[in-house]
Amino acid sequence: GSADQKVKSKLKNPFLKVEDRRCRYRPFYLQLSSFPVVNYSIPRPCSPFDVEKKNAHGQKQIHNKQRNPTNSDREKRPNHVPPKHKRRKGYCECCMKKYDDLHAHVESEQHQAFAKSSQYQVVDDIISKFSCDFLELRENTPKVKRRKCNV
């Protein structure tokens, strides 16, 4: 498995390469099609690094995505599914497990076991020291009952 035959490749300009000075870790690098430039012509308040899409012939088009990420944004990122239909991928710190669907994971047996375990004592210890300023609302009425919320 280790590096028996050495394969070397040259980074294409422009690039950026970052290494640990003691060479203990893998270098990481970035090869860009062009190095960033401060673009003063982009109107305020947009980033001077806002993406200007250049097509092959150098025509430019400013994309102001301040508020609306466009679809083309998403197309460029295969992992990104439009939010509404996206399952929420992530990592569960409780189960130490990656999941592809948050909802499915938190309902899984393993997670539910954790959820009901005494692991949360550390949280409850803190909660138990709070006093609640809020009064309990009586069900179905906006009236206020003079009772502390957690007693």
Partner 1 sequence: MLSKCWGQWTWPVNIMKDHRLETTLYKIKQLNARLVMEAIHLDEQSPLNAGNSFKKHESNKKGALTDIEKLYQAVPQLANVFRIKGKIGEGTFSSVYLAIGHVRGGREEKVALKHLIPTSHPIRIAAELQCLIIAGGQDNVMGVKYCFRKNDHVVIVMPYLEHESFSDILDSLSFEEARNYMFNLLKALKRIHHFGIVHRDVKPSNFLYNRQLQQFALVDFGLAQGTPETKVELLKVIPSETQQRSSAYNRPPLTVGSQVTSPTSRQLVHQSATKTANKRLSSISQTQIKQGHKRKEDADCHSVQRSVFGEKNFNVRSSAFQARSTVKQPRIMDIPVRKLSVKKKAISVVNNGLGKKAASGTPAHLTCDCYAKDSICSICLSRRQQIAPRAGTPGFRAPEVLTKCPNQTTAIDMWSAGIIFLSLLSGRYPFYKASDDLTALAQIMTIRGSRETIQAAKTFGKSILCSKEIPAQDLKKLCERLRGKTTSFDNSAGDVQMNPSQEFALPIGIGNASDSALQASKKYTQYQKQSTHEDGGKEKKTIQKLPESKGWDRVPNSAYDLLDKLLDLSPATRITAKDALLHPFFRNVKQ
Contact set for partner 1, span 17-76 (CB under 8 A): 17-54, 60, 62-63, 65-70, 72-74, 76
Residue among 27 and 90 whose Cβ is closer to Zn ion: 90
Q: Is residue 92 within the footprint of Zn ion (CB under 5 A)?
A: yes
Q: Tell me if 125 contacts partner 1 by CB under 8 A.
A: yes
End-to-end CA distance of the chain: 62
71 binds, among Zn ion, partner 1, none (CB under 5 to 8 A by kind): none
CA distances from 23 to 19, 52, 109, 150 (A): 7, 36, 44, 56
Total site size for partner 1, rule CB under 8 A: 117
SS3 of residue 121 by DSSP: helix
129 contributes a contact to partner 1 by CB under 8 A: yes
- Determine contact, residues 111/91, Cβ cutoff 8 Å: no
What is the rounded distance in angstroms from the CA atom of residue 128 to the CA atom of residue 135? 17
Closest by CA position to 66, among listed 43, 33, 36, 86 = 43
Cβ–Cβ under 8 Å, residues 14 and 31:
yes
**Binding span for Zn ion by CB under 5 A among 7-15, 45-53, 63-71, 108-116:** 108-116
Task: Lay out the site mask for partner 1 across 79-98 (x = CB under 8 A, - = otherwise).
Answer: xx--xx-x-xxxxxxxxx-x
* Positions in the binding site for Zn ion (CB under 5 A): 92, 94-95, 111
